[in-house]
Amino acid sequence: MNGAVRLTLGLVAFMWLQSTWCGDAITKTYEECIEEPIFEGRVCTVQANRDAKVGVILIHGLGGSVDDWQSTIPALAKDFHVVAFDLPGFGKSDKGSQNYSPTRYARLAHFLADHYFQDKPYHVVGHLMGGAIALRFAAQRPLGFQRLVLIDAAGILHSLVITKFQAGSMMVRASGVQQTRGFVERLSGMILEQTEWLPISPADIVDTALGRDRMLQGGPEKIAALGLAGEDFSHAIASVTEPALILWGDHDLVVPLRIGKVLAANMPHARLEIISDSGHEPMLEQADQLNAMLRKYLLASDDVLAEYYQQAPPLPAFASERLGSCSGKNDEVFEGDYRAITLRDCNNITIRNARVGRLSAINSRLEIIDTDILGKKVGLLADDSDVTITNGEISGVIAINAVHSQFDLAGVRLKGTEAAVNGVDSKFIFSVSKVSSKHTDGFLHTYKSMVDEEL
């Protein structure tokens, strides 16, 4: 073998090794840190395919970094100008004791979109806390923004609901017994409700340097987590009119699928899809499946998306005479239309995809999902009962009449000509729900202990 051939082969081998070792050579990524005006520090970014005509911003979650997108960036960079960045307080970006709230992070994302995309249209993808940031960003209606993707979005529901769910998940992981979840959630809920009487809120702590430094030791992850817990996304969910794809791991024990269902049902143009065999980090656990779903959605034409989000035809007028009842039973399921349903001494009852003229629950535990209760006088009467409601509308002269009962409502609309809620010695957790009555008109995202009062 002569010298020229050896030199040529050596150069080929060197170039192959260089492309194997250097991520920049494979994905054509560009890293830089720039000064930003929101947190007044440096934010570090990774870009790929800067010549593409359409952009995508990737926003990681709590405790994460751009490394979370290591498989996503090259998949999207085939067609898009991709920008991923380390949130301030994380990764290579500047850190400190600052107000790391979703609202401020969303302003930073807006700055980066203007900086990198300029006249390009672009999409936004967020994971976990990054999903909450992306939702807040989309609600700002920035120019150039086109489509939204939320992956296992964290927060959104009231912090009591999320903490109860995570306590239940912890016990399920420890015991391996799914049946322990309900007991642990109820127990943790009773404990956590006591914190609602504290004179200081999460927002008060995050907003002040003293609160951040004394109570959170200035830790960015603690500050960001509390900042997320203190935000109300009710108006954001209702105001995002651009197409939104909600993706959720089917085995996520960190953030409940219930959030995805609330988002999909209450955003004007949203759709929920499940990522199979995945926990709360599908970018790492099911990268190929996630990337295929992202590309299919982001590359779809507007006409295809219009069909994708086409509204279901309206249901016929409610006129059912069917009656449903349960007495001393467990695990019953009610679906479809009922003039009335009566539950007495029943546990683990599910009412889903239904329309009900009147619902009565006495000494019962039930979950209501995607159901409308179309009451004339009282829509839902609960006495000594535990009721969880996800999505749907409840109406009547009094929408909910509660006595010695507990309610967890998420994404629910309550309409009462006299009162949306009449509560006697009852407790309510409202998550991104809307109330309309002569007493109250607007969104509720709060915990309320009602001795004898109306909403």
Same-domain status, 402 and 358: yes
Q: Which of 17-21, 60-64, 74-78, 419-423 is predicted least confidently?
A: 17-21
CB 206 within 8 A of CB 227: yes
Same-domain status, 303 and 329: no
Q: For residue 27, what pLDDT band results from cuts at 50, 70 and 90?
A: low
pLDDT of 189 > 50? The answer is no
- Find the helix or strand (DSSP H, E) in which 296 lies: helix 287-299
What pLDDT was estimated at residue 309? 79
What pLDDT was estimated at residue 179? 46
Comparing 69 with 178, the larger pLDDT belongs to 69
List the beta bridge partners of residue 362.
344, 383
Q: Is residue 278, in this structure, part of any structural domain at all?
A: yes
Number of helices (H), then strands (E), in the chain: 15, 21
Same-domain status, 416 and 285: no
Rounded Cα–Cα distance for residues 285 and 298 (Å)? 21
Q: Which of 308, 331, 353 is the last residue of a domain?
A: 308
Packing angle, helices 159-175 and 180-193, rounded to 10: 140
Fill in the DSSP letter of residue 157: S
* DSSP string computed for 72-96: HHHHHTTTSEEEEEPPTTSTTS---
Condensed to tens digits (0 to 9), the pLDDT of residues 412-425 reads 999 999 999 999 99
Q: Is residue 258, in this structure, part of any structural domain at all?
A: yes
Q: For residue 20, what pLDDT band results from cuts at 50, 70 and 90?
A: very low
Q: Is residue 170, in this structure, part of any structural domain at all?
A: no
Q: Are strands 386-390 and 378-383 parallel, antiparallel or unpaired?
A: unpaired
Q: What CATH number does the domain containing 82 carry?
A: 3.40.50.1820
Q: What is the pTM of this model?
A: 0.87
Q: Is residue 3, in this structure, part of any structural domain at all?
A: no
Same-domain status, 348 and 246: no
3-state secondary structure of 149: strand
Mean pLDDT of 111-135: 96
pLDDT of 15 > 60? The answer is no
Q: Which of 3-12, 155-164, 240-249, 373-382 is predicted least confidently?
A: 3-12
Condensed to tens digits (0 to 9), the pLDDT of residues 324-364 reads 999 999 999 999 999 999 999 999 999 999 999 999 999 99
Q: Is residue 175, in this structure, part of any structural domain at all?
A: no
Contacts of 407 (CB under 8 A, 6+ apart): 382, 387, 388, 389, 400, 426, 427, 428, 429
Comparing 84 with 214, the larger pLDDT belongs to 84
Rounded Cα–Cα distance for residues 129 and 223 (Å)? 12
What pLDDT was estimated at residue 180? 46
- Find the helix or strand (DSSP H, E) in which 6 lies: helix 3-21
Q: What is the mean pLDDT of the chain?
A: 87
**Rounded to the nearest 5°, which phi and psi values hold at 71?**
-95, -20
Q: Which of 273, 308, 343 is the last residue of a domain?
A: 308
Condensed to tens digits (0 to 9), the pLDDT of residues 169-180 reads 555 455 554 544
**Rounded to the nearest 5°, which phi and psi values hold at 96?**
170, 180
Q: Is residue 121, in this structure, part of any structural domain at all?
A: yes
Q: How many domains does the chain have?
A: 2
Q: For residue 213, what pLDDT band results from cuts at 50, 70 and 90?
A: low
Same-domain status, 251 and 345: no
Q: In the numeric block, which tokens belong to residue 407?
A: 């309610």
AA identity, residue 402: A
Q: For residue 6, what pLDDT band results from cuts at 50, 70 and 90?
A: very low
Comparing 23 with 352, the larger pLDDT belongs to 352
Q: Is residue 367, in this structure, part of any structural domain at all?
A: yes
Q: In the numeric block, which tokens belong to residue 100?
A: 């790391």
pLDDT of 47 > 50? The answer is yes
Same-domain status, 356 and 430: yes
Residue 367 domain boundaries = 323-454
Q: Is residue 167, in this structure, part of any structural domain at all?
A: no
Q: Which of 27-31, 134-138, 246-250, 287-291 is predicted least confidently?
A: 27-31
What pLDDT was estimated at residue 220? 85
Comparing 16 with 198, the larger pLDDT belongs to 198
Same-domain status, 330 and 297: no
Q: For residue 251, what pLDDT band results from cuts at 50, 70 and 90?
A: very high
Q: Which of 13-27, 250-264, 393-407 is predicted least confidently?
A: 13-27
- Find the helix or strand (DSSP H, E) in which 48 lies: strand 41-48
What pLDDT was estimated at residue 21? 32
Mean pLDDT of 315-330: 93
Mean pLDDT of 43-68: 97
What pLDDT was estimated at residue 160? 86
List the beta bridge partners of residue 127.
151
Condensed to tens digits (0 to 9), the pLDDT of residues 273-312 reads 999 999 999 999 999 999 999 999 999 999 988 888 777 7
Q: Which of 284, 308, 332 is the last residue of a domain?
A: 308
Same-domain status, 270 and 378: no
Q: Map tokens 């954001």 to a residue.
A: 236
Fill in the DSSP letter of residue 358: -
AA identity, residue 197: W
pLDDT of 448 > 90? The answer is yes
Q: Which of 75-89, 310-324, 377-391 is predicted least confidently?
A: 310-324
Question: What sign does the dihedral 106-108-109-113 (CA atoms) show?
Answer: positive
Same-domain status, 75 and 151: yes
Rounded Cα–Cα distance for residues 145 and 140 (Å)? 10
Q: Which of 115-124, 159-168, 170-179, 208-217 is predicted least confidently?
A: 170-179
Backbone region of residue 166 per phi and psi (left: phi > 0; alpha: psi in -120 to 50; beta: other values):
alpha
Rounded Cα–Cα distance for residues 214 and 223 (Å)? 11
List the beta bridge partners of residue 81.
55
What pLDDT was estimated at residue 216? 74
Same-domain status, 290 and 152: yes
Same-domain status, 269 and 375: no
Question: What sign does the dihedral 360-184-370-433 (CA atoms) show?
Answer: positive
Same-domain status, 276 and 416: no
